[in-house]
């Protein structure tokens, strides 16, 4: 049997793994394929001391149990991934670190015009009267969700007519 990364024909793993592949690693490969993930610490050729993430007690066997998973879309952004021995963490596992290059895109927000607050203070009584006048008595028989949607629409229309938007 090969390790998670030794075969390397799946999209979700590289060809640089350590140890024997078992049932759980097969499940991990299935999960990665379903979620379109890639195990980044199998993509890069590293020295064996940079590959293993857990050492069995007695300093005998070494295993690669921990992985950094990244969406396949961002696979090219990952520049390096390996185990980091000697980190000051209270665990018998080695940390797995990853270096990635990310460029963030500026998000252009659509400007929304706010209600004219000065006019809102002056016209709040007129606004309240207009909303009250447009609410009819026959709406009492309809369901709560429909009444809420009608009230919301009514408030929005009356606010546009009476208060207006800020310039």
- Kindly state the tokens that stand for 31: 């999960």
Which parts of the chain sit beneath pLDDT 50? 1-2
Check residue 9 and give its pLDDT: 55
- Secondary structure letter of residue 123 according to DSSP: S
Check residue 31 and give its pLDDT: 92
CB atoms within 10 A of CB 124: 12
Check residue 38 and give its pLDDT: 92
- Secondary structure letter of residue 57 according to DSSP: T
Query: Nearest 10 degrees: CA dihedral of 143, 149, 150, 153?
Result: 180
Check residue 1 and give its pLDDT: 35
- 101 Cβ contact list (under 8 Å, min separation 6): 77, 79
* 3-class state of residue 120 by DSSP: helix
| pTM > 0.75: yes or no | no
Check residue 2 and give its pLDDT: 43
Check residue 121 and give its pLDDT: 77
Check residue 43 and give its pLDDT: 86
Cα separation, 96 vs 81, whole angstroms: 7
Cα separation, 25 vs 23, whole angstroms: 5
């Amino acid at each position: 049997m090969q390790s998670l990364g030794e075969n390397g024909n799946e999209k979700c793993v590289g060809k640089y793994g350590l140890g024997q592949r078992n049932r759980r690693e097969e499940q991990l490969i299935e999960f990665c394929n379903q979620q379109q993930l890639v195990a980044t610490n199998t993509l890069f050729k590293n020295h064996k001391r940079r590959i293993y993430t857990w050492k069995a007690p007695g300093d005998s066997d070494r295993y690669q149990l921990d992985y950094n998973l990244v969406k396949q879309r961002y696979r090219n952004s990952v520049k390096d991934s390996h185990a980091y021995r000697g980190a000051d963490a209270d665990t018998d596992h080695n940390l797995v670190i990853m270096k990635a290059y990310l460029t963030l895109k500026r998000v252009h927000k659509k400007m929304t015009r706010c209600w004219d607050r000065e006019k809102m203070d002056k016209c709040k009584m007129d606004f309240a009267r207009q909303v009250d006048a447009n609410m009819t008595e026959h709406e009492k028989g309809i369901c709560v969700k429909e009444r809420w949607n009608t009230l919301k629409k009514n408030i929005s229309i009356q606010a546009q007519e009476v208060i207006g938007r800020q310039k």
